[in-house]
Chains A and B, each alone.
Chain A
Amino acid sequence: MIPLEVNGKRQNVDLPGETPLLWTLRDELGLTGTKFGCGMALCGACTVHLDGQAVRSCVTPISAAANKKIVTIEGVGSGAVGRALQAAWVDAGVPQCGYCQAGQIMSAAALLQRTPKPTDTQIDEAMNGNICRCGTYTRIRTAVKQAAAKQGGTQ
């Protein structure tokens, strides 16, 4: 049994410790918002937060996530930064197919939590690990800046 704390909820999973967090979230815990894209930390679709850091859950074994705070797209909106990003994503009409956007938002949330006013270069660097095959990158930049501005204005 491996104890996991996902979006504030503690639960034990009965799986081998090397099982990637991605498949544990999706197949065992029913949290399908976190997406599979490559299985090799190349595309960012599976990004979640582990103690506030953005990690690729497809290469994170659950043994390494035990007793840490895991936040997924289903939980990130309970924080102000996550909520602001989600609102900005809808407002700027970022998604096309939408499949990669959970990972994009998780990477953006980690960025804004550590760098509330990122420059274009900082945005590009933080987001470069997240592939969007529909090509929504220019709107992602817009939405990240919009969320950052809103955070700055209210806090």
Chain B
Amino acid sequence: MNPLIVANVSRRRFVQGLSLGGLVLAVGYPSAGRAQEQKKFGADGMPNGWVDNPLAFVSIADNGTVTIVCHRSEMGQGVRTGMPMIVADEMEADWKRVRVAQAPGDEKKFGNQDTDGSRSTRHFFEPMRRCGAAARTMLEAAAAERWKVPASEVEAKNHEVVHRPTGRRLSYGELAKAAASQPVPARETLRLKDPKQFRYIGKGQIKLVDGWDIATGKAQYGIDTRLPGMLYAVVARPPVYGGKVANFDPAEALKVPGVERVVQIADSEPPAMFNPVGGVAVLARNTYAAIQGRRALKIKWDDGPNASYDSKAYKASLEESARKPGTVVRNDGDFTAAAAGAARRHEAEYYVPHLAHATMEPPAATARIEKGKCEVWACVQSPQATRDLVAKRVGMSADDVTVHVTLLGGGFGRKSKPDYAVEAAALSKAVEGKPVKVTWTREDDLHNSYYHTVSVEHLEAGVDAQGKPVAWLHRSVAPTIISTFKADAKNEAPFELGMGVINVPFAIPNVRIENPEAVAHTRIGWFRSVSNIPHAFAVQSFVAELAAAAGRDPKDYLLDVIGPARQVSPETLGDTWNHGESPERYPVDTGRLRRVVETVAREAGWGRKLPKGHGLGIAAHYSFVSYIAAVVEVAVDDKGGLTVPRVDMAVDCGATVNPDRVRSQMEGACVMGLGIATLGEISFKDGRVEQDNFNAYEVTRMSGAPRLIRVHIIPGDYSKPMGGVGEPGVPPIPPALCNAIFAATGKRIRRLPIRDQLKA
């Protein structure tokens, strides 16, 4: 191997965004310090920004194999295929001769690696194109030099460079060494391909780079790491948030065959941040012995102030708050006066419980400390934060910590929080640097997650004589993710309000949005689609309720409420966050929202005749700067049993890199959305999670999956900004399902999950 990666990687200055200013910035919400700086958007606004240097991402071996680095974490979204495909296309590499290497956590070298917020493609499409174009230019320059001809006479094409006048050819392998010593061209001199010439981008014929390894059991996830002399650990953690070990007795655990050590992990005071919650670890010869050892531990817990957290009582307290005024976060016109003068008034309240990500691969990580260096192998969405936190925990400089990113067996936001990787490092340190793998059991995963918030959404509307809304009040009450970083935070942050509460672009003159306080009693964290889930459920259900009250077709009524096609500045909606994107580049475009509604209605055959017990429901939601609408067909039998024969989804995420993965993300979002609507609930009693495993925390199985999911992608333009894909598919599904249930049965669901609410 003769890599292009040479010592002089700083030939061209890396453009970086904000430096990593501690966790508050790392997790991407605005802080006071940040507001004073020039506001940056997109990848520029993320810690360590972006890098487009081919010396960081591309290497070519003498045999012509091109290795492209993927710096984002693969958790099922297809990023290890999509990112390198962009580079390969621009550099005219033959995909059959491309290998993909996974970057370790190193944002100085690769740019931001936080794989969350549905950001990878929209933030890195352009840098990766430039990276590929620069590599292509270097190969062309090397060939021109070899032939002593002007660079304008040579052209890179499908893994070789051709001299046009003579037809001479040199392969990429033959040029590898010479190309590596070419200067990296200045960014402004790069020629990008005309999208018409794309070979792979947007075509959808490339299979997953890891597909065959997955199908044959060779793919390596975080839980699969094996090192010589490794100990297998499981940890008994405090069952209540903020709880501590009062005392423990390891004697019986140490008698279990295979158990080698019992080690306490230090408590951590709330706020949790990304710290381990503490507890007692059992280290053994294999995972089973460790689990058996943990069963034999005797631990007395001091539960602390959250010991009375009770989901039933908490729901009642949220409802009480939602019925009283709260902090006004958007105020257009005069809701009170308009509602008082309205022909009729409507009111409804919606509830969405806590959820756990329940990634099929539970959290797992391995660490080893040797000769002053710490190595970690982990399935993390945030490798740089993992590196920094591990360094702090074991008392090393981050330069001495390497985080190898494995495949993630699901992420959904859980693996943005690397507490489990820090546990592994702490345990390795406690056993003289021996390699230690920490595996979370399913019970651990459900009992100590960073839960999706729990919320009550209170909506009121005043409508005119035709039933059209003239006044709109939305009170959203939910413990905030900020509470995981700042213990006394009680209000939703701008990024939570900007997920479908304040930035609803409806054509309603009088709008008031309020956010009463809510105190968190557990770790609240990002869950795929985040606050868009409860917000879209409430807003899109309520619009359908108003349509029904007005005796109108729900699709026509929704289009009327959206109003005419126009571009709405998020700032005029009170949304200062806008998914981190520039309000000029990414206005809220009601024309695009209308178009997905119209497209999905047409494709789904809206209004078609249905068998008895079937119903169609529609919902649309704008999130992660993409526009999605869904039509769900439901079948409800006479015992209240529910099946979903078909779902249609229309997605406008701008232009696409890998349309098949856009489809698969929508299919998956559909199934997850149906699971949230029908089954998903984490509840607390005496401060403890009541669900232990998949028997109590149910998720959608094959029998609950739609027979048919059709995804309709609105064609996009590569010169326009792209939108997110991983998350925006989920939010419209629960309201579309509940609207379909209303169409089929006349019963309105306002509390998730549905479970047996249809059973009379």
A contact residues vs B (CB 8 Å cutoff): 15-16, 19-20, 23-24, 26-28, 30-40, 42-43, 45, 72-74, 77, 85-87, 89-91, 93, 95-102, 105, 120, 123-124, 127-141
Contacts and interface: CB of A to CB of B under 8 A. Distances in A.
Interface stretch (B24-32, B326-334, B407-415, B581-589): B407-415
Interface residues of B, number: 68
A152 to B, nearest CB: 21
Interface string B256-296: 01100000000000000000000000000111100100000
B99 interface: no
A17 to B, nearest CB: 11
B288 A20 contact: yes
Given A134-B672, A139-B667, 9 more contacts: A24-B288, A34-B217, A86-B215, A95-B76, A97-B76, A100-B360, A133-B672, A134-B360, A138-B708
A32 B360 CA distance: 15
B218 interface: yes
Nearest to B668: A135
29 contacts: A19-B288, A23-B286, A24-B288, A30-B226, A32-B220, A32-B223, A36-B362, A37-B361, A39-B441, A42-B695, A77-B216, A90-B208, A90-B215, A93-B207, A93-B661, A98-B76, A100-B360, A100-B409, A101-B215, A102-B217, A129-B701, A131-B694, A132-B671, A133-B359, A133-B699, A135-B667, A135-B668, A138-B706, A138-B708
B360 A99 contact: yes
Interface string B195-236: 000000000000110111011111111011010000010000
A97 B694 contact: no
A128 B665 CA distance: 21
Interface string B439-453: 101100000000000
Given A72-B217, A77-B216, A138-B705, A95 B359 contact: no
Given A20-B288, A23-B287, A93-B208, A124 B699 contact: no
Contact of A140 (B219, B220, B702): B702
Contacts of B216: 33, 73-74, 77, 86
A133 B701 CA distance: 9
B207 A90 contact: yes
Instruction: Tell me the dominant secondary structure on chain A's binding face.
Output: loop
B701 A99 contact: no
B336 interface: no
A95 B693 contact: no
A-B pairs with lowest CB-CB distance, top 4: A33-B217, A135-B671, A99-B409, A96-B76
B75 interface: yes
Contacts of A96: 76-78, 664-665, 668
B694 A43 contact: yes
Nearest to B212: A90
B208 A35 contact: no
A9 to B, nearest CB: 15
B660 to A, nearest CB: 6
A97 B224 contact: no
B361 A35 contact: yes
A133 B410 contact: yes
Contacts of B497: none
Given A95-B208, A124-B702, A140-B702, A37 B360 contact: yes
Interface of B: 74-78, 207-208, 210-212, 214-221, 223-224, 226, 232, 257-258, 285-288, 291, 357-362, 407-412, 439, 441-442, 660-661, 664-665, 667-672, 675, 693-695, 699-703, 705-709
A19 B291 CA distance: 11
Contacts of B221: 35, 99
Contacts of B442: 37-40, 43
A33 B218 CA distance: 6
Contact of B700 (A26, A27, A28, A135): A135
A77 to B, nearest CB: 6
A35 to B, nearest CB: 7
A136 B217 contact: no
B612 to A, nearest CB: 21
A77 B78 CA distance: 24
Contacts of A101: 214-215
B442 to A, nearest CB: 5
Contacts of A16: 257
Contacts of B215: 85-87, 89-90, 95, 101, 105
Contacts of B703: 124, 128
B360 A45 contact: yes
Contacts of A23: 286-288
A95 B214 contact: yes
A73 B120 CA distance: 31
A97 B75 contact: yes
A105 B216 CA distance: 9
A109 B220 CA distance: 22
Most buried by A among B208, B217, B439: B217
Contacts of B439: 36
Contacts of A128: 701-703
A45 to B, nearest CB: 6
Contacts of A132: 360, 671
A101 B703 CA distance: 17
A30 B744 CA distance: 52
B656 to A, nearest CB: 15
Nearest to A96: B76
A24 B285 CA distance: 11
A62 to B, nearest CB: 10
A26 B111 CA distance: 35
Contacts of B232: 27
A39 B701 CA distance: 17
Contacts of A91: 207
A98 B672 contact: no
Contacts of B362: 36-37
Nearest to B710: A138
Contact of B709 (A30, A90, A127, A138): A138
A40 B693 contact: yes
Nearest to B412: A133
A136 B410 CA distance: 12
A98 B667 contact: no
Contacts of B706: 138
Contact of A135 (B74, B75, B218, B670): B670
A119 to B, nearest CB: 13
A104 B707 CA distance: 18
A60 to B, nearest CB: 12
Nearest to A102: B217
Contacts of A138: 667, 705-709
A27 B287 contact: yes
A73 B360 contact: no
A45 B258 CA distance: 25
